[in-house]
């Protein structure tokens, strides 16, 4: 019997469309760097807050390599990054914050810390008992985003199926199964993005976010801005990706990460 290439299955062309966040009162957001959460899913976080949900933001790295030109060498730069995260989070409606001390470039230069990182993510779930966990999606090109995604999805394997894990995009576009219209709260997201002054001095990420969130309306023509996500249920974890898909993502991520390092000084070792 002849097996045609298309017999392996047609990809899902249209994700689920929504105008509000998934159900869940307790919302945990994990970010590799202060600003990932706002640029990646700030609109949805604002919607959660307006709905009255409980939001905890955990930032895993110190962000210590985010000032390659020494513009802030006279200040406590790590604390500056954290204060920007607090201000941005408060603008979105985040009520609680946790900050960790993992080094920038942990995904490339500190992989020996993986078990510790995974354990800290597990503790966050154990203590906060979230219904929803927002995290960088698995195909992120930035090594820290990817490294954190691995840890979160590792933890997801042992989580209950009542917990939904929501992968958000930052540097690399995902193949979403959920796209949410965030147009009505986009002014809140813009105000939160503007709090990251130290990062915007190096690169104006705001129009890039505008472009990505506008592009996502391809699925939702009546919307002005959308955010996209890859979901999986606890207990399945990285089973959301087949072994072949995971290997392909890792290969593509490595190639793109190398390309990006040529242009962004903060991504260099």
pLDDT in tens, 93-151: 999 999 999 999 999 999 999 999 999 999 999 999 999 999 999 999 999 999 999 99
Whether the predicted pLDDT of 265 surpasses 50: no
pLDDT in tens, 50-74: 999 999 999 999 999 999 999 999 9
Angle at 67 (CA atoms; ends 41, 209), nearest 5 degrees: 25
What is the residue range of 218's domain? Answer: 14-267
Angle at 167 (CA atoms; ends 13, 98), nearest 5 degrees: 165
**Does residue 220 contact residue 43 with C-beta atoms inside 8 Å?**
no
**Does residue 24 contact residue 45 with C-beta atoms inside 8 Å?**
no
Across 2-11, 66-75, 215-224, least confident range: 2-11
CATH number of the domain at 90, please: 3.40.50.10320
Cα–Cα distance, 155 to 116 (Å, whole number): 12
Residue 184 lies in a domain: yes
**pLDDT number for residue 13:** 65
Across 8-22, 101-115, 177-191, least confident range: 8-22
**Does residue 60 contact residue 30 with C-beta atoms inside 8 Å?**
yes
Instruction: State the total domains in the chain.
Output: 1
Residue 160 lies in a domain: yes
- Residue 145, classed as helix, strand or coil, is helix
Query: Closest Cα partner for 36 from 159, 169, 150, 224?
Result: 169
Residue 106 lies in a domain: yes
Residue 4 lies in a domain: no
């Amino acid at each position: 019997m002849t097996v045609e290439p298309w017999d392996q299955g047609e990809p899902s062309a249209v994700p689920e469309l929504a105008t509000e966040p998934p159900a869940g009162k307790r919302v945990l957001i994990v970010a590799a760097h202060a600003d990932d959460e706002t640029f990646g899913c700030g609109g949805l976080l604002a919607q959660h807050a307006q709905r009255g949900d409980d939001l905890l933001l955990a930032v895993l790295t110190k962000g210590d390599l985010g000032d390659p030109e020494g513009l802030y060498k006279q200040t406590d730069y790590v604390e500056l990054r954290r204060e920007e995260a607090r201000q941005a989070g408060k603008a979105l409606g985040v009520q609680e914050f946790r900050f960790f001390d993992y080094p920038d470039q942990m995904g490339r230069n500190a992989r020996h810390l993986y078990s510790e990182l995974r354990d800290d993510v597990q503790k966050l779930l154990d203590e906060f008992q979230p219904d929803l966990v927002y995290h960088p999606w698995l195909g992120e090109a930035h090594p820290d985003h990817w490294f954190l995604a691995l840890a979160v999805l590792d933890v997801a394997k042992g989580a209950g199926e009542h917990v939904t894990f929501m992968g958000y995009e930052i540097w690399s576009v995902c193949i979403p199964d959920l796209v949410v219209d965030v147009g009505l709260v986009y002014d809140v997201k813009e105000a939160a993005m503007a709090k990251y002054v130290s990062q915007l001095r190096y690169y104006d990420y705001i129009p890039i976010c505008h472009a990505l969130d506008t592009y996502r309306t391809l699925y939702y023509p009546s919307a002005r801005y959308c955010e996209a996500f890859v979901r999986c249920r606890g207990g399945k974890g990285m089973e959301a990706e087949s072994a072949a898909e995971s290997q392909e993502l890792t290969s593509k991520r490595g190639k793109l990460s190398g390309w990006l390092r040529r242009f962004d000084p903060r991504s260099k070792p």
